[in-house]
């Protein structure tokens, strides 16, 4: 069964172009041109992934992203103009999984959609359950437990945590982490890892500003504390 992709952009020409390439690649596409209709379409169609432009009339893309994250962990790829650096970082902090800058190649969009879907559908893992301190991660069921409380992670956050825990004590560069969680390392996008790390710390650290588990290795990247 073909994956259903929701494409949200107020530029109808872009929507037609991206939709055409996605359909040629075997995807089913549903569309919306404004924020509120996008939420309605999402709830009705239940897509496997959302390609979301940030610059929308009415409810903007950031608010749509925020609303989606309140009710779903569906993978979200943001589409941004290069000048919207702040909005891009905010979007990642709200839980978007990836971003694409305008202008873009439709072929890149298809490649990024495939990459995100590949990793969110589950890949072979070396262990089913990993434990550290107060929490455990079940790689098969895609669940994270902190004490008696379930931790709600986006697909990217989950994959990032799994990779780091499987390499506990080893410093990983941003590019290595990006390659591991996306399956492909797109040049210029390694700094997105910083936003995902910030989100993870907010969810699994008792004091995110003084983390116990996810440590910064200055000049290199990040590591999961081996002693944890």
CATH number at residue 17: 3.40.50.2300
pLDDT recorded at residue 6: 97
Domain count, the chain: 2
Per-residue pLDDT averaged across 29-35, rounded? 95
| Model confidence pLDDT, tens digit, residues 63-119 | 999 899 888 889 999 888 755 667 667 777 788 888 888 888 888 899 889 888 877
pLDDT recorded at residue 189: 60
DSSP string, the chain: -PPEEEEE-S-HHHHHHHHHHHHHTT-EEEEESSHHHHHHHHHHH--SEEEEES--SSS-HHHHHHHHHHH----EEEEEETT-HHHHHHHHHTT--EEEEES--HHHHHHHHHHHHHHHT----S-SEEEETTEEEETTTTEEEETTEEE---HHHHHHHHHHHHTTT--EEHHHHHHHHHSS--TT-TTHHHHHHHHHHHHH-SSTTS-SSEEEETTTEEEE-TT-
Which is nearest to 16 in space by CA: 2, 29, 26?
29
CATH number at residue 159: 1.10.10.10
Q: Find the domain containing 165 and state its range.
A: 129-224
Q: Are residues 15 and 102 in the same domain?
A: yes
Q: Are residues 61 and 155 in the same domain?
A: no
- Residue at a domain's end among 69, 96, 120: 120
- Residue at a domain's end among 103, 120, 137: 120
Q: Are residues 77 and 114 in the same domain?
A: yes
pLDDT recorded at residue 126: 47
User: Does 203 have pLDDT greater than 50?
Assistant: yes
Q: Are residues 33 and 108 in the same domain?
A: yes
Give the percent of the chain with pLDDT over 70. 88
Q: Are residues 104 and 192 in the same domain?
A: no
pLDDT recorded at residue 178: 80
User: Does 184 have pLDDT greater than 80?
Assistant: no
Q: Are residues 60 and 140 in the same domain?
A: no
What global pTM score does this model have? Answer: 0.60
| Model confidence pLDDT, tens digit, residues 116-168 | 887 766 544 445 788 877 778 888 778 888 877 888 888 888 888 988 888 88
Mean pLDDT of the chain: 84
């Amino acid at each position: 069964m073909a994956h259903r992709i929701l494409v949200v952009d107020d530029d109808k020409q872009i929507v037609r172009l991206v939709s055409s390439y996605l359909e040629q690649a075997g995807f089913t596409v549903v569309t919306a041109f404004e924020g509120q209709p996008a939420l309605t379409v999402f709830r009705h169609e239940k897509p496997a992934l959302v390609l979301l432009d940030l610059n929308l009339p009415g409810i903007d893309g950031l608010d749509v992203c925020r609303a989606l994250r309140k009710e779903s962990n569906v993978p979200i790829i943001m589409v941004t103009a290069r000048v919207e650096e702040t909005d891009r970082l905010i979007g990642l902090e709200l839980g978007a999984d990836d971003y694409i800058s305008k202008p873009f190649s439709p072929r890149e969009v298809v490649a990024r959609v495939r990459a995100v879907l590949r990793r969110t559908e589950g890949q072979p893992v070396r262990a089913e359950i990993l434990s550290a301190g107060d929490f455990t991660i079940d790689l098969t069921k895609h669940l994270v437990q902190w004490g008696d409380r379930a931790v709600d992670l986006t697909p990217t956050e989950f994959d990032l945590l799994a990779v780091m825990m499987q390499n506990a004590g080893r410093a990983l560069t941003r590019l290595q982490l990006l390659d591991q969680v996306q399956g492909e390392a797109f040049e210029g996008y390694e700094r997105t890892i910083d936003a995902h790390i910030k989100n993870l710390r907010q969810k699994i650290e008792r004091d995110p500003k003084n983390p116990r588990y996810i440590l910064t290795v200055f000049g290199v990247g990040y590591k999961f504390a081996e002693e944890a």
